[in-house]
Amino acid sequence: MQDTKTTNILMAGVGGQGVILASEIVAEAMLRAGYDVKKSEVHGMAQRGGSVTSHLRFGTKVYSPIIPDGEVDILFSFELLETLRYVHMLGAHPLIIVNNQKILPPSVIMGKDHYPDNIPDLLSQYCARVHLVSALDIARSAGNPKALNVAFVGALSRHIDIPESIWHDAIAAALPPKIVDLNIKAFTLARQNQ
Amino acid sequence: MKVLLSGNEAIARGAYEAGVRVAAAYPGTPSTEILETIVQYKDINAEWSVNEKVALEVALGAAIAGVRAMACMKHVGVNVAADPLMTASYTGITAGLVIVTADDPDMHSSQNEQDNRHYARFAKVPMLEPADSQEAKDFVKLAFEISERFDTPVFIRTTTRISHAKSIVEFAEPEHRELPHTIKPQFEKYVMLPRNARLRHPQVEERLKKLAAFADEFDRNELILQETDIGIIASGTCYQYAREAFPTKSFLKIAMAYPLPIKKIKYFAGLVDRLYVFEELDPFYEEQIKAMGIAVTGKDVFPVCGEFSPITAQNGIVGSRTHKPDVPSLPALPPRPPNMCPGCPHRGVFYILKQMKVFVSGDIGCYTLGGLPPLNAMHTCICMGASVSGALGIDKALGPNGLGKAVAVIGDSTFLHSGITGLLDIAYNKGTCTVIILDNRTTAMTGRQEHPGTGFTLQGQPTKQLNLPSLCAALGIDHVRVVNPYNLAEVAAALREEIERPEPSVIISQAPCVLHRREYNPPGTPFTVNASACIGCMACLQLGCPALVWHPAEKSGTASINSALCTGCTLCAQICKKEAIQAEA
């Protein structure tokens, strides 16, 4: 393999959306594709409903398990507001892939804070390439809204140049056998979605 | 075979490959997954211990009996285990003993960010510090070799970014080790009477000198000689950050955090123009290197507090990057803190405590979130068990004036870890405190581990189950009652009665965690708000339940319930004075 610059994917979302499992699948795919891979996240305090991030890096040789500020190549965000939290980490020619879903944080639920309007427009001020994906709809049409995270990985997979079969293998390695087919269906629908 | 493993998973694999027979731990972020992974290796007798002191003593006993043993804990767990640690250093071992300390710089899930490298120096035992998962696995094996060669316990120190970061690991075959058939007394080695301890201490000092010489030979303390204008000494994840920021400069990568390789450091210092030591938290290496008479830059340019990144190395050594991306400023973003789950059995208790305006002596667990808005009902959180003994201190300070003004709140697992002795002290020393034990039938915050109250072992095998009310009674508490935390009136009545009583009491709030796979049965029917009956008083919102949503309107507004999140716990319906909240039809 040729020496390649490290690619940095910052995954963001809300506890319960399956961010960590999605990052497991992407990391496993990159390992199978022959890259050095590192991935880092923080578990601990009851994370249900809290902000979740996973740093995923791959290339010929990866040192740090966390992405330095200003070096995110792909911001892969499962929730609209969470995307905004990390735009300061974007690198020089970034891509934002954002799931078109709003999950209201507690202070908004309580009526104390305002959920920002027009987030996709705001994002386009920071990044020339913003892809909006309706992963929940895709998961539903594949048969189960819980496949949202794997469907969303399908949208990411279009921007990573490895064979599709590796993705399927990585999904099969990460999930219980009985839900693999449904998840690959969700993955494929999102991958093909233009 | 190449696999992606977290540092914790790699340590578990390393224990298996090293032929470990006994592993003990109390769950604590970021160390928990070590034992959760070890359980798959059937040759290892693994246990959730009641606390870290017990875990280390179990492991030490096994090592004295002649099998390789490991104890794992988070950084603050070593404080609990410090008593056996300090003397295990004197006794040494028969077969290898490794202690894993998982530190948490930046306090992602901890109450402090103490630097446990100090424990190695304090206890005069060696410490290895892996820089990725492969090293985490390999260093476990090396640690056992060092332990047996030098007759000493050995620390492995990780930080969150090692414990919870995944990187590629290659497996090796497990070592076959003969098992002991019997145990023979060694009076002078293992009975630390003063006369024997006086004989052991000089041996500890001698051992330290030999370990220091070994550190200089140890090839995992690695010199990476490249451009010599800048030389950086670093270990663990800090090495990775600095190497990424300065890929062409020279490094001394420290694998053994204690004792340091003095000759290698002097040699390296002589080769480079400017020497830096890049270490998170305390200037542990820096002070020792300066004491060697070597000029080095460390905490003058790198922070003491918090976690590092490659940017920290960059900023400290060459200054901050000049170009900042020219981007518009963001609107203020609403925060998204962790919250108790919808249907959590703790929520109602904190709601009542807030209403009663009592001072809550708190503790460590999911329920510490009860201190955050809107519940705001926890007023101290220090360490495991401090709620109970702290409440006695408050009781003693305020005397009769304090009656009814303070309570202790502690979880079931935390109570068994460190609350029992405090409760005994309350009974013995004539306290009048009320202690609420939030018994959610699991160690919830670290991901639902078993403990003596659950009746199951780490392996999921049924075992002797602790009877909590009987234990409290046996400690000398005459007033022990069990309440259903989903019945607010019952909780409030019990609390009022017990806190006014001039005698000690325990209220056990008993209901399984909503994530408890074995015990939790969801009530099933989500609730809904009848918008025409809702007067917008926001009383229900004071529960801070993620399933409740406020819809502001011109003058007031209405609440609604997210049926996807609602568990049907009924708390909000109990609070609503207009009976606007009812089960979905």
Mutation to test the B interface, candidates A8, A35, A43, most B Cβ within 10 Å: A43
Pick the CATH number of B2-214 from 2.30.40.10, 3.40.190.10, 3.90.1150.10, 3.40.50.970: 3.40.50.970
Q: Locate the chain A residue with the closest alpha carbon to B2.
A: A31
Does A110 contact B109 at a Cβ distance shorter than 8 Å?
no
CA distance B253 to B261: 11
**Shortest Cα distance, chain A CAs vs residue B342, angstroms:** 9
Q: Superfamily assignment of A7-192 in CATH?
A: Pyruvate-ferredoxin oxidoreductase, PFOR, domain III (3.40.920.10)
Whether the Cβ atoms of residue B217 and residue B142 lie closer than 8 Å to each other: no
Question: Cβ separation of A106 and B240 shorter than 8 Å?
Answer: no
Q: Give residue limits of the domains in chain B.
A: 2-214, 222-318, 347-510, 527-583
Percentage, residues of chain A above pLDDT 70 = 94
In the numeric block, the tokens 């809702």 are attached to B534
For residue A46, give the nearest of B314, B327, B366 by CB distance.
B366
CA atoms of B111 and A44, how far apart (whole Å): 12
Q: Quick one: which of B340, B373, B334 has its CA closest to B565? A: B340
Q: Is the pLDDT of residue A45 over 70?
A: no
ipTM over 0.85: yes
Chain A segment 33-62 residues within 8 A of B by beta carbon are 36-51, 62
Closest CB to A31: pick one of B168, B244, B369.
B168
Banded pLDDT at A194 (limits 50, 70, 90): low
Window A:139-168, CB contacts with B under 8 Å: none
Q: How confident is the model at residue A1 (pLDDT cuts 50, 70, 90)?
A: very low
In the CATH scheme, what is the code of domain B347-510? 3.40.50.970
Q: What would the 3-class secondary structure string for B444-508 be?
A: CCCCCECCCCCCECCCCCECCCCCHHHHHHHHCCCEEEEECCCCHHHHHHHHHHHHHCCCCEEEE
Q: What is the DSSP letter of B75?
A: H
> What are the Cα distances from residue B84, in Å, to B20, B132, B421, B553?
20, 29, 18, 62
Q: Residue A57: is its pLDDT beyond 60?
A: yes
The answer to whether the Cβ–Cβ distance between B369 and A70 falls below 8 Å is no
Q: Which of residues 401-440 of B touch A (CB under 8 A)?
A: none
CB B124 within 8 A of CB B208: yes
* Topology agreement, domain B2-214 and domain B347-510: yes
Closest alpha carbon to B144 in B3, B235, B22, B8? B22
φ and ψ of B506, to 5 deg: -130, 130
- Cβ–Cβ contact A122 with B under 8 A: yes
Closest partner residue to A43 among B3, B29, B337, by Cβ? B29
| A102 contacts in chain B (CB < 8 Å) | none
Return the bridge partners of B449, or none.
Answer: B443
Residues of A in contact with B376 (CB under 8 A): none
How far is it, in rounded angstroms, from Cα B506 to Cα B519?
A: 23
pLDDT at B337: 85
Say if residue A46's pLDDT is above 50: no
According to the model, what pLDDT value does residue A97 have? 98
Which chain B residues are within 8 Å of A115, Cβ to Cβ?
334
Predicted local distance difference test score (pLDDT) of residue A106: 85
CATH 3.30.70.20 fits B527-583, yes or no: yes
How far apart (Å, rounded) are the C-alpha atoms in residues B8 and B14?
10
Answer whether B4 sits within 8 Å of A47, measured CB to CB. no
- Cβ separation B336–A14 shorter than 8 A: yes
Contact check, Cβ <8 Å, A126/B327: yes
pLDDT tens digits for B61-78? 999 999 999 999 999 999
B222-318 maps to which CATH number? 3.40.50.920
B335 near A CB under 8 A: yes
Nearest to A106 among B29, B446, B544 (CB): B544
Best mutation target, A35, A60, A66, to test chain B (most B CBs within 10 A):
A66
CA–CA dist A57, B168 (Å, integer): 12
Nearest CA in chain A to B159: A42
Query: Taking residues A44-52, what's their average pLDDT?
Result: 67
Q: Is A106 on the interface with B (CB under 8 A)?
A: yes
Q: Which residues contact B402 (CB under 8 A, 6 or more apart)?
A: B394, B395
Least CB-CB distance to B333: which of A62, A85, A106?
A85
The reply to whether B537 touches chain A by the CB within 8 Å rule is: no
Instruction: Give the closest-approach CA distance of A92 to chain B in angstroms.
Output: 8
Residues in chain B within 8 Å Cβ distance of A62: 167
Contact A148, A21 (CB under 8 A): no
Question: What are the chain B neighbours of A122 within 8 Å (beta carbons)?
Answer: 330-331
* B371 close to B362: Cβ distance less than 8 angstroms: yes
Kindly state the helix (H) or strand (E) to which residue B434 belongs, with its residue range. Answer: strand B434-439
For range A161-179, the mean pLDDT:
97
Tell whether B444 lies on the interface with A, counting CB pairs under 8 A.
yes
Contacts of A44 in chain B (CB under 8 A): 29-30, 108-109, 445-446
User: Each residue of B129-147: pLDDT tens digit?
Assistant: 999 999 999 999 999 999 9
* pLDDT, tens digit only, all 585 positions of chain B: 899 999 999 999 999 999 999 999 999 999 999 999 999 999 999 999 999 999 999 999 999 999 999 999 999 999 999 999 999 999 999 999 999 999 999 999 999 999 999 999 999 999 999 999 999 999 999 999 999 999 999 999 999 999 999 999 999 999 999 999 999 999 999 999 999 999 999 999 999 999 999 999 999 999 999 999 999 999 999 999 999 999 999 999 999 999 999 999 999 999 999 999 999 999 999 999 999 999 999 999 999 999 999 999 999 999 986 555 566 788 889 998 888 999 999 999 999 999 999 999 999 999 999 999 999 999 999 999 999 999 999 999 999 999 999 999 999 999 999 999 999 999 999 999 999 999 999 999 999 999 999 999 999 999 999 999 999 999 999 999 999 999 999 999 999 999 999 999 999 999 999 999 999 998 879 999 999 999 999 999 999 998 999 998 888 899 999 998 899 999 999 999 999 999 987
Angle, to 10 degrees, between the axis of helix B468-475 and the axis of helix B420-428?
40
